[in-house]
Amino acid sequence: MSNWINKAIIYHIYTLGFCGAPEQNNDEVICTNKIKKVLDWIEHLKTLGINTILFGPLFESTSHGYDTADYCKLDKRLGTNEDFKEVCKVLHEEGFRIILDGVFNHVGRDFFAFKDLQQHRENSKYKDWFCNVNFWGSSPYGDSFSYEGWEGHYNLVKLNVWNQEVRDYLFKAVELWIKEFDIDGLRLDVAYCIDEGFLSTLRRFVDTKKEDFWLMGEMIHGDYSRLTKPGLLHSTTDYECYKGIYSSHNDKNYFEINHSMNRLFGKGGLCENLKLYNFVDNHDVERIGSILKEKRHLENVYTLLFTMPGIPSIYYGSEWGIEGKKVQGTDKSLRPELEIDKMLAEDQTVVEHISKLSAIYKQYPALQEGSYEQVIVRNQQLIFARSLGDETVYTVLNLQGEAMQLEFSEKRGESLINALDEEEGIIRCENGLIRVQVPPFSSKILVSSKKYLGK
């Protein structure tokens, strides 16, 4: 496995929303090249320090993209395969890696094999492509047979990934994506539902197609190491820490996120040697700008995201703290169309903070691969260390509305400097102790002054 993922800073785009595609795909929709809009964002992404883009579902579907109709054809609401091929070529030339959303657990009702099943019932050669097909029943959509839908959603027809023909079809699509678009990885939608045998076969397949290919699976609850064993996935989503990040700030209780980080990444933790995919919002959950009780905590939230163990990911638009809440069960407001010119006219404070964090993350291997250790935990203050070899980086967070002086032992007796604000000057280590004054609602990232100043 290549180490490119160690320095990856991911920008997650829900592509259909981002590009302003129509909500429904039908015969009246005219093919456009909306996907090229991504190219207008390149300079902004570079400013943020982004080097990897995760595209939400791209392929032909009926509505939201997770109801796939054709795995080999770009959704015509976004453009053609040639359009996306051009986008990928430019992005790769600009130094970006590309990850696609792999939706392999289920398909939409417009998928060719399901339509054949509707027409030919027992005589369909695809009748074994789907789970729990029963010709003695009926479906909520009026089909003369029943079948399994993903978590009860019958517009999402569950694929039988134990079927060799299904596997061959999906792997052929992945091979096309690698050959035609030169993609670098996949996010596997609802990986927690997918048979581990399929995942291991997929891993072996992609390993033969591209040496440094990366597989990350969506998991919400449970032991994330279950799907990150040798021969399975490289990473999973970290929903436990996602919840811990926002609730710790809303409840002014850093004990929660500290507990999760210790449980997962501390010595002997469940995921001590894994790099999970970290986020503070995504296409399925409310925007961090809406869920935080106080937006002035945004900078601390992102400092935590970039310095905790794992891979930092930003959901498009949240670098400006935009809001978005689920309304009457719809995710539409979480997935808006955005125009870069309008967004660059907004307050850039959090953008600038993230840019600094990105540079620091790339500079210090301890933040990319280092061990995790709790240093100080209080309701409204948290200090933890990331260490690798002779390098240690301390993250210091203060939630209180007043400055706090904190004191902790420095392992090597070295003086430190705040990488987020080098003008603060050197913080002297005296008798093995660091005493640091932390302003209200702020954070510091402390590193050895010798290393930082190149001495």
DSSP for 111-160, written as a single string? SHHHHHHHHHGGG-TTGGGBTT-BTTS--TT--SSB--EETTEEEEEEB-
Q: What does the pLDDT look like over 365-383, one tens digit per residue?
A: 999 999 999 999 999 999 9
Can you tell me whether residue 176 is helix, strand or coil? helix
Q: Burial level of 86, CB count in 10 A (0-12/13-18/19+)?
A: middle
The answer to whether residue 1 scores a pLDDT higher than 60 is: no
Q: Are 10 and 99 contacting, i.e. CB atoms less than 8 angstroms apart?
A: yes
Structure confidence at residue 77 as a pLDDT band (50, 70, 90): very high
Q: How far is it, in rounded angstroms, from Cα 19 to Cα 269?
A: 40
Segment 50-75 mean pLDDT: 97
Instruction: Give residue 376's pLDDT.
Output: 97
CB-facing half-sphere around the CA of 246: CA atoms within 13 A:
19
Q: Report residue 312: phi and psi, to 5°.
A: -75, 140
What tokens does 368 get?
Answer: 């990319």
The set of residues, in sequence order, having a beta carbon less than 8 Å from that of 289 and lying 6+ positions away, is 295, 298, 318, 320, 321, 322, 323, 324
Q: Please report the domains of the chain, with CATH numbers, ordered by start residue.
A: 3-105+161-238+276-363 (3.20.20.80), 370-452 (2.60.40.1180)
Q: What percentage of the chain reaches a pLDDT higher than 90?
A: 93
Instruction: Give residue 437's pLDDT.
Output: 95
The answer to whether residue 27 scores a pLDDT higher than 90 is: no
Q: Are 425 and 403 contacting, i.e. CB atoms less than 8 angstroms apart?
A: no
Q: How far is it, in rounded angstroms, from Cα 119 to Cα 432?
A: 77
Q: How far is it, in rounded angstroms, from Cα 152 to Cα 49?
A: 40
The answer to whether residue 106 scores a pLDDT higher than 60 is: yes
**Which stretches within 29-80 are classed as H helix?**
42-48
The answer to whether residue 442 scores a pLDDT higher than 80 is: yes
Instruction: Give residue 411's pLDDT.
Output: 79
Q: 387: which strand partners? A: 371, 392
Structure confidence at residue 327 as a pLDDT band (50, 70, 90): confident
Instruction: Give residue 454's pLDDT.
Output: 66
Q: What does the pLDDT look like over 211-257, one tens digit per residue?
A: 999 999 999 998 999 999 899 999 999 999 999 999 999 999 999 99
The answer to whether residue 455 scores a pLDDT higher than 70 is: no
Instruction: Give residue 2's pLDDT.
Output: 54
The answer to whether residue 28 scores a pLDDT higher than 90 is: no
Q: Burial level of 207, CB count in 10 A (0-12/13-18/19+)?
A: middle
Q: How far is it, in rounded angstroms, from Cα 315 to Cα 292?
A: 15
What is the average pLDDT value for the chain, to the nearest integer? Answer: 95
Q: Are 15 and 88 contacting, i.e. CB atoms less than 8 angstroms apart?
A: no
Q: Which amino acid is at 359?
A: A
Q: What percentage of the chain reaches a pLDDT higher than 70?
A: 99
Q: Are 452 and 425 contacting, i.e. CB atoms less than 8 angstroms apart?
A: no
Q: What does the pLDDT look like over 380-418, one tens digit per residue?
A: 999 999 999 999 999 999 999 999 999 999 978 899 999
Instruction: Give residue 125's pLDDT.
Output: 97
For the ranges 257-266, 274-283, 325-334, 382-391, the lowest mean pLDDT is seen at 325-334
Q: How far is it, in rounded angstroms, from Cα 111 to Cα 369?
A: 42
Q: What does the pLDDT look like over 118-166, one tens digit per residue?
A: 999 999 999 999 999 999 989 999 999 999 999 999 999 999 999 999 9
